[in-house]
Amino acid sequence: MGRRCRPASLRKELYHRVLELRGMGLSYREIQRRIFKEFGENLSKSIISGWIRRVHTPYGDGLGYDVWDLRRHRLRPCPELAYAIGAALGDGYTKYEGKYHYAVALAVKDYDFAEEFGRCAAIALGREKPYKPYWDRSKRRWVARAYSRELYELLRKPVDFERIRPYVEHCEKCVATFLRGLADAEGDVDKNENNFGRISIANTDRQLMEYALALLKALGIFARLYKRRKRETENIEGRVVKRERQFIYLLRIYRNSDILRFREVIGFAIKRKQEVLDELHRRTIARRACRPPKPSPPSTLLFPTFHTLTLRK
């Protein structure tokens, strides 16, 4: 026996009542209860949602599903998505948790980093509330998880960088936020006793580092890529043994002009890293102010100074 089809007049009456109840601030569950109490009809949440968003109506003038309908988790290029991609490629992981739960997660020690990832991922997926980080006692890390099959397929390893390019290279701001997410995950700021510093980004994925190097160059930031062996220590029978196993790739920014450009265009979302970068910038400015002016070159017949030219006149 097929499902009963409601008369058109009843559907129109239910439609207007649903919109009226929603305007009063009732939730979907409360609307279901009121409709059943008044009309004796069980409306599903999908029907109520479709009517409220005007995806479909009893009058046949629904808007339908848009190509970029965020509530269906269809990704669109935006700076928030670019940040989430950069953070996940740097320090995140993907996990299928069963029952159609496809997770893209981040486990880090900085709460503000996990909070920013949850905020950006929620905006990119069309979620009204951000994904809130929680403390994992076993990992001793703050964990933020975003659930989306499309984002899961995009970031699952091995990563296809050709699929990522449209979201990262959409505009200059998307490029900058992608690099900010990667720098928050794998970046650091070093400064020595002479107030000279550098910005480093390290990862074992060579393709990712080469891609980041090209993006930095596109933003007018000069960096160098180095290849090092990753050192690991093991405790064997009370002896600490150092082993060099996996290669690690380092992106380093040295020049003051490039560090200033990085600070202005990219920066860090992690507060402690941004504070170190700001302090390095202040010390660089102070060092330049204390530097004595360069002496003027000696006057010669081949290269006369302004004073000698004036005397000749």
Give the pLDDT score at 67.
44
Q: What is the residue-wise DSSP string for 95-144?
A: EE-STT-EEEEEEES-HHHHHHHHHHHHHHTT-SSPPPPEEETTTTEEEE
125 & 168 share domain: yes
Contact 64, 55 (CB under 8 A): yes
Give the pLDDT score at 71.
47
Name the one residue in this structure whose structure tokens are 């669109």: 76
Whether 71 is in a domain gets the answer: no
pLDDT at 82 over 50: yes
- The domain of 85 spans 79-289
Task: Convert the pLDDT of each residue in 173-182 to its tens digit.
Answer: 999 999 999 9
Residues 35-40: contacts with CB under 8 Å, at least 24 apart: 39/10, 39/13, 39/14
95 & 237 share domain: yes
pLDDT at 66 over 60: no
Task: Convert the pLDDT of each residue in 231-289 to its tens digit.
Answer: 666 555 556 555 556 788 999 998 888 999 999 999 999 999 999 999 888 887 776 66
Contact 84, 117 (CB under 8 A): yes
pLDDT at 307 over 50: no
Give the pLDDT score at 70.
46
Instruction: Using alpha carbons only, give the angle 263, 268, 270 rounded to the nearest 5 degrees.
Output: 150
Whether 64 is in a domain gets the answer: no
Residue 151 maps to which CATH number?
3.10.28.10
183 & 273 share domain: yes
Give the pLDDT score at 128.
83
Whether 228 is in a domain gets the answer: yes
Whether 313 is in a domain gets the answer: no
Copy the structure tokens of residue 105.
């997660």
Whether 310 is in a domain gets the answer: no
pTM of the model: 0.68
48 & 83 share domain: no
CA distance 31 to 21: 6
Give the pLDDT score at 289.
65
23 & 127 share domain: no
37 & 155 share domain: no
98 & 246 share domain: yes
How many residues are listed for the chain in this entry? 313
In this structure, of 82-91, 129-138, 189-198, 275-284, the range with the lowest mean pLDDT score is 189-198
91 & 146 share domain: yes
Residues 124-128: contacts with CB under 8 Å, at least 24 apart: 124/75, 124/76, 124/78, 124/80, 124/81, 124/84, 124/151, 125/70, 125/73, 125/75, 125/151, 126/69, 126/70, 126/71, 126/73
Give the pLDDT score at 240.
55
What is the band of 27 on the pLDDT scale with cuts at 50, 70, 90? very high
Short-list 138, 131, 137, CA closest to 103: 131
pLDDT at 158 over 60: yes
46 & 164 share domain: no
pLDDT at 121 over 90: yes
Whether 136 is in a domain gets the answer: yes
Short-list 184, 115, 185, 100, CA closest to 150: 100
Give the pLDDT score at 295.
66
41 & 102 share domain: no
| Domain total of the chain | 2
209 & 258 share domain: yes
What is the band of 291 on the pLDDT scale with cuts at 50, 70, 90? low
CA distance 268 to 157: 25
Give the pLDDT score at 284.
75
Whether 304 is in a domain gets the answer: no
22 & 123 share domain: no
pLDDT at 68 over 50: no
Whether 262 is in a domain gets the answer: yes
Peptide bond into 158 cis (omega under 30): yes
The rounded mean pLDDT for the chain is 84
